[in-house]
């Protein structure tokens, strides 16, 4: 679990202008574009908890969201799923159902470890082209997950007692209730802002 993740809300119509097997490369090329993209070791760090927009011709086509206190690591997301496994049997049944849906849609592999966070059909399923695709949610999926987040958000405070008893202080990331909920709130910001634009979400390795 040493990999990083970059979360890019993106305009599905703009990506859809390219052939299916060229859509990921279109996004990667715009992200890495010298002078206008967002991937640059010499550039200032992107502000945490905010969207950062590219410059130039793609300024209205995609963005990058920098999660708070994760340093870009996927570990924070992975361990949030692990914390949920520790506490979910002790959660209110309504919250359990809704948070299962939210996390299965984004970062959690589920109790059987087999959940997928990619909607089929939009990007190529050729492993050579999609090797670094960790997440791909269509605008319809994003709208559904954003609505789920709005139902989850007011219920989260009720999870604190169970979390403190069954998940706090464990090995790895998200070992406090605040760290656990901060990551969920960041995902909520991504979902809400993306849904308002009618976009999809792409998560790329690295």
Q: Split the chain (206 residues) into runs of 10 and give each run's mean pLDDT.
A: 86 97 94 69 62 87 92 92 95 97 96 92 92 96 98 97 90 87 97 98 92
pLDDT at 41: 45
pLDDT at 26: 95
pLDDT at 71: 84
For 42-77, b where at least 16 C-beta lie within 10 A, e where not — what string?
eeeeeeeeebeebeeebeebbbbbbbeebebbbbbb
End-to-end CA distance of the chain: 12
Rounded to two decimals, what is the model's pTM?
0.92
pLDDT at 42: 46
The token pair at 30 is: 């715009």
The token pair at 169 is: 């202080």
C-alpha distances (whole Å) from 63 to each of 1, 25, 166, 206 are 25, 16, 36, 15
pLDDT at 32: 84
CA angle 201, 203, 206 (to 5 degrees): 150
pLDDT at 113: 86
Strands (DSSP E) contained in the chain are 5-10, 50-52, 64-66, 133-137, 200-205
Q: Which residues pair with 202 in a beta bridge?
A: 8, 136
């Amino acid at each position: 679990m040493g990999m990083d993740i970059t979360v890019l809300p993106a305009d599905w119509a703009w990506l859809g202008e390219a052939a299916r097997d060229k859509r990921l490369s279109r996004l990667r090329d715009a992200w890495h574009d010298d002078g206008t993209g967002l991937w640059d070791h010499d550039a200032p760090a992107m502000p945490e908890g905010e969207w950062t927009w590219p410059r130039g011709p793609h300024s209205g086509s995609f963005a990058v969201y920098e999660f708070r206190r994760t340093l870009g690591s996927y570990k924070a997301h992975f361990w949030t799923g692990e914390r949920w496994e520790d506490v979910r049997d002790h959660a209110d049944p309504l919250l359990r159902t809704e948070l299962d849906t939210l996390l299965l849609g984004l970062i959690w592999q589920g109790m059987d470890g087999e959940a997928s966070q990619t909607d089929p059909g939009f990007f190529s399923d050729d492993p050579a082209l999609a090797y670094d695709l960790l997440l791909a949610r269509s605008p319809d999926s994003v709208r559904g997950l954003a609505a789920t987040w709005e139902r989850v958000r007011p219920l989260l405070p009720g999870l604190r007692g169970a979390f403190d008893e069954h998940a706090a202080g464990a090995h790895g990331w998200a070992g406090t209730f605040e760290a656990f909920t901060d990551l969920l709130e960041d995902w909520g910001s991504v979902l809400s802002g993306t849904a308002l634009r009618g976009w999809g979400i792409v998560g790329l390795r690295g």
